Amino acid sequence: MLDDDNVIKQRDPKDALGVAVGQNEQARFAVEVLNPDNDGREITQVVVAGMGGSALAALLVKSWLSKELSIPIEVVRTYDLPEYVGSSTLVIASSYSGNTEETVSCLGVARARSAQVAIIASGGNLTRIAEESEIAHVTLPGHLQPRMAVIYNLRALIAILAHFKIASYDRFAEISDLADWLGEQTRQWASDITTDKNYAKQLALMSVGKSPVFYAGNLMAPVAYKWKISWNENAKNVAFWNELPEFNHNEFLGWTSHPIEKPFAVFDLVSNFEHPRILKRFEVSDRLLSGKRPKSIIVQLQGDSVIAQMLWASILADFVSIYVAILNGVDPTPVDLIEKFKHELDN
């Protein structure tokens, strides 16, 4: 089925696979920080307010740059901000649509507390507020689902952090330097590459009809979260994720009892950049759980740097989950129930 062009065109009418193929080009996004408001105040902490895919870039940055940033970054995914947020906090409101109500609420709180603020959006209320109030902001290219615009968002976030002298512009360049390599890697997962040579199609066939559970080490935990998001929104499939070493302190034991037949697909997203003890934990966990849970599918992340592996794995997540959507007989692009839910909240 996954090698039948007619089936793919019928079940992917909005060409989500085409969007996935072009994601590497997002790494070249020429970011411009508009209304570059920066009064030079000392920033002692950063808070990124966002939901779902719009929060993902912040989670990636927090993990990727954890050993070099001199101030903490917190990701807030609700309506309010921590009490410590004040004039020495940089609050970045990130919403791809620009209309996410939780994020708009956080921006209002940040401004009321005289925090330094910045905005990332493709339009909507946040862009309107940024333009009217001359707030530093980045306008993202529109017409994508937020989960498919992670690299755009990542570029924008690094640019804003560099603008406020929190991160290095070298990291901004590091992302763009990966564009060609990512293109070469991810082109191998396109629909015209047959299943026998297509890793993404193979993974989809291994997991279709099951509820996937994604595991990663602490460093790559945001990647496991990305796989969950992609499965939920592309494949319309329930999915779960967790990270090691926390997994070994509770969830590990949950696999040891009934039901004997567990309708799950277990993915271990393994990076050679993880702490050696975490890599050992993957190995020992799989051995001790042999026969108690489905044999894990090991996805060895590719790339010569942490960010290369993060982006490689993030794009793979979209390809595999889109192929699962095709196998499930659902259109991978729309998120109609989420839109209906938002409408009901407004009534």
Over residues 287-300, mean pLDDT: 95
- Residues 283-299 have a mean pLDDT of 95
In which residue are the tokens 């393994």 written?
270
Locate 216 and state its tokens. 């990663």
Which element (helix H / strand E) includes 279? helix 276-288
pLDDT digits (tens, 9 = 90+) for 300-341: 999 999 999 999 999 999 999 999 999 999 999 988 888 888
pLDDT of 6 reads 92
What is the residue-averaged pLDDT of the chain? 95
For residue 37, pLDDT beyond 80: no
Q: Are 147 and 318 in contact (CB under 8 A)?
A: yes
pLDDT band at 222 (very low <50, low <70, confident <90, very high): very high
The type of residue at 90 is L
Domains located in the chain, CATH noted: 5-12+180-328 (3.40.50.10490), 16-177 (3.40.50.10490)
> Which pTM does this prediction carry?
0.95
What does the pLDDT read at residue 133? 94
Provide the angle, in degrees to the nearest 10, between the axes of the packed helices 221-233 and 306-328.
Answer: 20
Burial code of 156-178, b = ≥16 C-beta within 10 A, e = fewer? bbbbbbbbbebbeeebbebbeeb
Token pair recorded at residue 290: 């042999």
Question: What is the pLDDT averaged over residues 37-51?
Answer: 91
